[in-house]
Amino acid sequence: MNHNNKYDTNLHQRPANYEALTPISFLERSAAVYPDKVAVIHGDVEFTYRQFYQRTRQLASALNKAGIGIGDTVSIMAPNIPAMLEAHFGVPMAGATLNALNYRLDAASIRFILEHAETKVLISDREYSSTVADAIQGLDSPPIVIDIDDPQFVGGDLIGQVEYETFISTGDPNYHYGRPESEWDAISLCYTSGTTGNPKGVVSHHRGAYLNALGQLLVFGVDANSRYLWTLPMFHCNGWTFTWGITAAGGTHVCLRKIDPALVFKIIKGHKITHMCGAPIVLTMLIHAPDDAKLCFDQPVDVATGGAAPPSQVIQNMEDIGFRVTHLYGLTETYGPATVCAWQPHWETLDPDSRTRQMARQGVGYHTMEAVMVADSQNMKPVPSDGETLGEIMVRGNTVMKGYLKNPRASEEAFRGGWFHTGDLAVCHPDGYIEIKDRAKDIIISGGENISSLEIEETLYKHPEIMEAAVVAKNDEKWGETPCAFVTLKPGASDVSADDIIQWCRNNVARFKVPKLVVFGELPKTSTGKIQKFALRERANKL
Amino acid sequence: MNHNNKYDTNLHQRPANYEALTPISFLERSAAVYPDKVAVIHGDVEFTYRQFYQRTRQLASALNKAGIGIGDTVSIMAPNIPAMLEAHFGVPMAGATLNALNYRLDAASIRFILEHAETKVLISDREYSSTVADAIQGLDSPPIVIDIDDPQFVGGDLIGQVEYETFISTGDPNYHYGRPESEWDAISLCYTSGTTGNPKGVVSHHRGAYLNALGQLLVFGVDANSRYLWTLPMFHCNGWTFTWGITAAGGTHVCLRKIDPALVFKIIKGHKITHMCGAPIVLTMLIHAPDDAKLCFDQPVDVATGGAAPPSQVIQNMEDIGFRVTHLYGLTETYGPATVCAWQPHWETLDPDSRTRQMARQGVGYHTMEAVMVADSQNMKPVPSDGETLGEIMVRGNTVMKGYLKNPRASEEAFRGGWFHTGDLAVCHPDGYIEIKDRAKDIIISGGENISSLEIEETLYKHPEIMEAAVVAKNDEKWGETPCAFVTLKPGASDVSADDIIQWCRNNVARFKVPKLVVFGELPKTSTGKIQKFALRERANKL
């Protein structure tokens, strides 16, 4: 650090030229620059930036009064409503760490998280009162429970000690909250959905949250004129840091308790939405909405998708109904998106099919991510950029988590060799764009050949009658594993047999990749819209 | 830093999740994402991002081979040409600090800077060979001089040990350069123009350069499709960090050796320029270009102006010829712009005059600047937001310099009270926007009343025959000081007398503010286009 040279003499950090990076700054700025602008819309309720900032200061003040501060966890179980946004600022302003819970989890999982996170305060929406009541029953150190009593939801019970509006009304709207002592301080704790075993607690820091939020604005073209619809759960990596990012831009957050395609189209049109995000499943819901729900809108609407690879057909269908799609890739460990399939001008000239196949790639690192590579996970050497050699996606930079809470073994394993190991298998194309072939555990190895389940799914999604598809490995005495397809047909689809679908695959992929078995029915999903392949694998092996 | 809590246990910084922020990352990314895209255009010469990156690696490699590294200064005396851009990356890649020289300075000033900066290498364009030769003659430790032999300039001599292209050809295009050990390391050294006494050396760090460059992209709406024309000298605060910012976005730099209005219009049209910057004087040159030079262009062109307050008439005139103006304010000590006159939607409804007066305000802090205030410089208390009370503009944040090189007294003075003191006097309007009334030393105090020279200049700029105006204090026995106006008339202006102009002022400003004296002629300017008021003050006091 100190080179003993003239450039390090009497030129130290001071209050005037050094401040810990934190997304709290973003709200401070937008409240100063756009005090009377609508910051948050929730049904008929609107908060200006002045009010948004005051409410978060009240929350911070009330939390500090309640004895919550540095090192404490505040958990929240809420849909995309103002209280959830406010927690993203008020909790860090109180010096505490925000743990946004996945509201689709069961009581046992929530209980595990509350105990592991040592939650001191739990803010909880009435909608989830029964799960939460079960989760906290008999806990050794039960948290203070604050009920959110949102009139937009009917049902559930108030089960806590105090109601949210009452709680924050005890706080000072001009509160002089503390700033993080270090930008490395923990701002949030998100638990991975954990397809096997107990979930891991991903700890994020203020520095990374600040940088990733700015990176999002650059990648997704968000500015003060943007109107962002919350179709992505905020509990999912803090809404991919858009909770902080939209606020930084001084845009408008439009809340949404639940994805109802007809309501989504109505809000897009009525509130002139410009940006939204969601897993491919959200896009699929919009594409397959009833025709009379699909309202036309005049403004361009940018949709960022990620969390799972979007089949190129889904991109094409979204374009057909008026959306512009950007494909992002990342994990909870990388504050949500870490790569973007950055548009290249020459793609304009490609035919629609080639173009959407390009757009379905995971792409290149964010401005704010230092490096991304596809490498051999043993020797850490990058694979050749030939579009064929499989390797693991690894990333490195300031928008990678601090590590897993109280799990040094998992942290060391994830960070071995100086890179974060994503567990996703990909190729690197000659243009440097990466493309996921599978989760490490989702690859199918048949007769010694690697089969990408994603490739077969791509083919299935192109079948005119198929709405959703997932392909998993089924154990096989002869081949080791063979592909087994699970498909959901479109509403009102014509009669299609398993043989028809197998024939469709034969016409489109190499023979050894063709599923041996096709199963019809609804697909099990995680709370973030990812298809639960582990459940399908179990099912496949019982067939 | 260590709270001894669970969020700081086994969750330390590691290579996977922590890297010093540096603009070097931006070029690495753009070279990876857009290798074949044109990064830099200079006349008929074009470099792709792959070539741009290779050339900077060659420069870093050649500098390291020449023994240059951490703690060393590399100075450059060059107009806006590729070598200048390359130095902004190659010099920091070599671990050294870049000192871009103001090419309008005389030999004595250059000599002072080379000695003060302890320059080891001086890269110098043939155009300035006579100044440079004088400056280095007889130096105790003369730098290695590298000549830039740009075919676009005719004249001057090669005076150095080696020519630039020959020098970098000794470097490795795949060189594994070092990264800064700390983001607090010095990336650049810029000398203030120094209206009195010796110039001060402003030391900037990698962290601030990275953040300010990203802030610029957000404020100015720059993205990968942007084509940026270099009408702003790169030596001026590293081109307001756009040297790094345009590279971060993956946009295209279009070089320009010298401001020739006809050429500027030709390039705007021919290269489909989308963004450019310049002091108000550059705008004035475009406005007053001959009609046949003013080509029409189809694309929207955003012009950011700063370095001096733009008269609202200049904003209006620029809009009339097809530009969109953004007003930025800052200093060398803040990496160039620190505030922006952020657009407010309700300004749409204002009449043109009110609107351009709003736009001429200095505005609000950047996303990446922590705080801006107008305060009493003695007690550090913010002045009321009444649009009337004068105070000094102060800023605080990560985009403020490390301090002045080898000048701890000046650093302490500038940073007193935990804020950087700009020396600019301003008011804060009720909407939080700041507006400069004058440099602290430019305010005119007449009969105990403060008179803003800018206000009178605003009035003069509205006179149909005046092209440029500056008002300074002239000592006066009775009043202490009185305003004295210096004006340049438009080419082909009709006969206007001093009395006419005084009458114009009487009709438009309070009586005590009316200049007692009006002087016609060309105005002396600093190298960055600022009118040299100190020179005018001297002149006024001799009248």
Q: What is the mean pLDDT of residues A436-464?
A: 83
Q: What is the mean pLDDT of residues B148-177?
A: 97
Partners of residue B396 in chain A, C-beta under 8 Å: 15-17, 19
Count of CB contacts below 8 A, A vs B? 184
Whether A440 has a pLDDT exceeding 80, the answer reads: no
pLDDT tens, A257-266? 999 999 999 9
Residue B249 lies inside a defined structural domain of this protein: no
The range of the structural domain enclosing residue A420 comes to: 259-440
- Residue A386: partners with Cβ closer than 8 Å, 6 or more residues away: A427, A428, A430
Q: Which of residues 48-87 of B touch A (CB under 8 A)?
A: 70-71
C-alpha A271/C-alpha A251 separation (Å) is 13
Name the residue in chain A with its Cα closest to that of B97: A7
Residue B9 lies inside a defined structural domain of this protein: no
Q: Which of the four pLDDT bands, split at 50, 70 and 90, describes residue A77?
A: very high
Task: Indicate the residue of A203, A223, A224 with minimum beta-carbon distance to B11.
Answer: A203
CB A265 within 8 A of CB A294: yes
CB A280 within 8 A of CB A314: yes
Whether B302 has a pLDDT exceeding 70, the answer reads: yes
Query: Tell me, what CATH number does B93's domain have?
Result: 3.40.50.12780
pLDDT at B271 (0 to 100): 98
* Interstrand relation of A119-125 and A73-77 (parallel, antiparallel or unpaired): parallel
Average pLDDT, chain B: 93
pLDDT tens, B119-143? 999 999 999 999 999 999 999 999 9
Residue A12 lies inside a defined structural domain of this protein: no
pLDDT tens, A469-478? 999 999 888 8
pLDDT at B527 (0 to 100): 67
Q: What is the mean pLDDT of residues B41-45?
A: 97
Same domain assignment for residues A535 and A492: yes
Q: What is the mean pLDDT of residues A504-533?
A: 86
pLDDT tens, B243-277? 999 999 999 999 999 999 999 999 999 999 999 99
C-alpha A82/C-alpha A168 separation (Å) is 13
Mean pLDDT is lowest, of A415-429, A435-449, B33-47, B202-216, for A435-449
Closest of B115, B376, B360, B87 to residue B234, by C-alpha:
B87
C-alpha A177/C-alpha A60 separation (Å) is 7
- Looking at B189, B204, B219, which one is the last position of a domain? B204
Q: Shortest Cα distance from B245 to chain A (angstroms)?
A: 11
Backbone angles phi, psi at A482, to 5 degrees: -135, 155
Catalogue the E-assigned strands of B248-334. 252-254, 275-278, 301-305, 323-331
CB B323 within 8 A of CB B316: no
Q: Which of the four pLDDT bands, split at 50, 70 and 90, describes residue A113?
A: very high
Same domain assignment for residues B497 and B476: yes
Task: Indicate the residue of B17, B218, B401 with minimum beta-carbon distance to A217.
Answer: B218
Same domain assignment for residues A337 and A354: yes
Same domain assignment for residues B51 and B196: yes
- Looking at B419, B439, B459, which one is the last position of a domain? B439
pLDDT at A2 (0 to 100): 44
Q: Shortest Cα distance from B468 to chain A (angstroms)?
A: 32
Partners of residue A16 in chain B, C-beta under 8 Å: 396, 400, 414-415, 418-420
Q: What is the mean pLDDT of residues A204-224?
A: 97
Same domain assignment for residues A461 and A427: no
- Looking at A440, A470, A493, which one is the last position of a domain? A440
Helices B206-220 and B24-33 cross at an angle (nearest 10°) of 50
CB B19 within 8 A of CB A398: yes
Two structure tokens written together for A165: 């509006």
Residues in chain B, overall count: 543
Instruction: Among A356-360, B321-325, B356-360, name the most confident range.
Output: B321-325
pLDDT at B528 (0 to 100): 64
Residue B237 lies inside a defined structural domain of this protein: no
Helix locations, B338-443, DSSP H: 352-359, 408-414
Same domain assignment for residues B334 and B449: no
Same domain assignment for residues A198 and A302: no
Q: Produce one character per residue of B76-115: b if its CB has 16 or more CB atoms within 10 Å, e if not.
A: bbbbbbbbbbbbbbbbbbbbbbbbbbbbbbebebbbbbbe
Whether A287 has a pLDDT exceeding 90, the answer reads: yes
Contact A203 B370 (CB under 8 A): no
Same domain assignment for residues B278 and B199: no
Q: Does B39 touch chain A (CB under 8 A)?
A: no
| Three-state helix/strand/coil letters over A286-330 | HHCCCHHHCCCCCCCEEEEECCCCCCHHHHHHHHHCCEEEEEEEE
Q: Which of residues 403-422 of B touch A (CB under 8 A)?
A: 403, 405-406, 408, 411, 414-415, 418-420
Q: Which of residues 106-145 of B touch A (CB under 8 A)?
A: 118
Whether B187 has a pLDDT exceeding 70, the answer reads: yes
C-alpha A157/C-alpha A140 separation (Å) is 23
pLDDT at A129 (0 to 100): 97
Q: Does B201 touch chain A (CB under 8 A)?
A: no
Q: What is the ipTM of this complex?
A: 0.89
Q: Does A224 touch chain B (CB under 8 A)?
A: yes
Partners of residue B8 in chain A, C-beta under 8 Å: 71, 185-186
Q: Does B9 touch chain A (CB under 8 A)?
A: yes
CB B173 within 8 A of CB B48: no
Contact A33 B420 (CB under 8 A): no
Two structure tokens written together for B34: 């857009």
Whether B2 has a pLDDT exceeding 50, the answer reads: no
Q: Which of the four pLDDT bands, split at 50, 70 and 90, describes residue B195?
A: very low
Q: What is the mean pLDDT of residues B42-53?
A: 98
pLDDT at B479 (0 to 100): 81
Contact B186 A7 (CB under 8 A): yes
What is the 8-class DSSP label of residue B79? -
Residue A19 lies inside a defined structural domain of this protein: no
Per cent of chain A over pLDDT 90 is 81
Contact B405 A11 (CB under 8 A): yes
Contact A17 B401 (CB under 8 A): yes
Name the residue in chain B with its Cα closest to that of A345: B225
Per cent of chain A over pLDDT 70 is 98
Mean pLDDT is lowest, of A172-181, A307-316, B226-235, B480-489, for A307-316
Residue A210 lies inside a defined structural domain of this protein: no
Q: Does B299 touch chain A (CB under 8 A)?
A: no
pLDDT tens, A242-256? 999 999 999 999 999
Same domain assignment for residues B54 and B105: yes
Residue A153 lies inside a defined structural domain of this protein: yes
pLDDT tens, B410-461? 999 999 999 999 999 999 999 999 999 877 778 788 877 778 888 899 889 9
Whether A97 has a pLDDT exceeding 50, the answer reads: yes
pLDDT tens, B473-489? 998 888 878 999 999 99
Residue B88 lies inside a defined structural domain of this protein: yes
Contact A418 B17 (CB under 8 A): no
pLDDT at A269 (0 to 100): 97
Helix-strand-coil percent breakdown of chain A, rounded to 5?
35, 25, 40
Chain Cα centroid distance, residue B143: 26
Whether B48 has a pLDDT exceeding 50, the answer reads: yes
Q: Does B435 touch chain A (CB under 8 A)?
A: no
Q: What is the mean pLDDT of residues A41-51?
A: 98
